Amino acid sequence: MATVESLRRLPPPAGDDPRIDLFASDAWRSLGNFMQGQAFAAQAAQKARTQNAKLLLARALYLQGSTLKNLGDANGAMAAVAESGQILRRDGWRCQSCGTISNLEVHHRQFRSQSGADTEGNLITLCVDCHRQAHGL
């Protein structure tokens, strides 16, 4: 969690990236702390909504739904997962590079570090592996 806290201290917009909260949610969930996992997923969803980052919002809502299910909130889980599904359906549920349907993320064609916008025309759905390749990692 020290990595998460150091990322939060980065100057905006980097420190406000919803992916930091998604990572924290995953970490807390893996430790069995679903309350913290849900809180970070909700925070990621709010930031993604504010930034109009639709695929990150879908991922955050999915994590929220999964975590709410583990906390015994079936109705909350269904609502979060339903909204997540709407966003992913719109984007075809597929990596636009390799066609996989798992571990999807949003990629900025023009990188955010180069003033790339969070607009639909600048965003493409990629899986984690293709996203790393797109960034030369």
pLDDT of amino acid 109: 79
The domains of the chain are located at 1-90, 92-137
Other beta carbons within 10 angstroms of residue 24's beta carbon come to 23
Other beta carbons within 10 angstroms of residue 79's beta carbon come to 15
Residues of the chain predicted below pLDDT 70: 83-88, 90, 112, 118-121
What is 1-90's CATH number, 3.40.50.300, 1.25.40.10, 3.40.50.720, 3.30.420.40? Answer: 1.25.40.10
pLDDT in tens, 1-11: 788 889 989 99
Other beta carbons within 10 angstroms of residue 93's beta carbon come to 14
Q: How far is CA 94 from CA 51, 121, 127, in A?
A: 22, 17, 8
pTM: 0.62
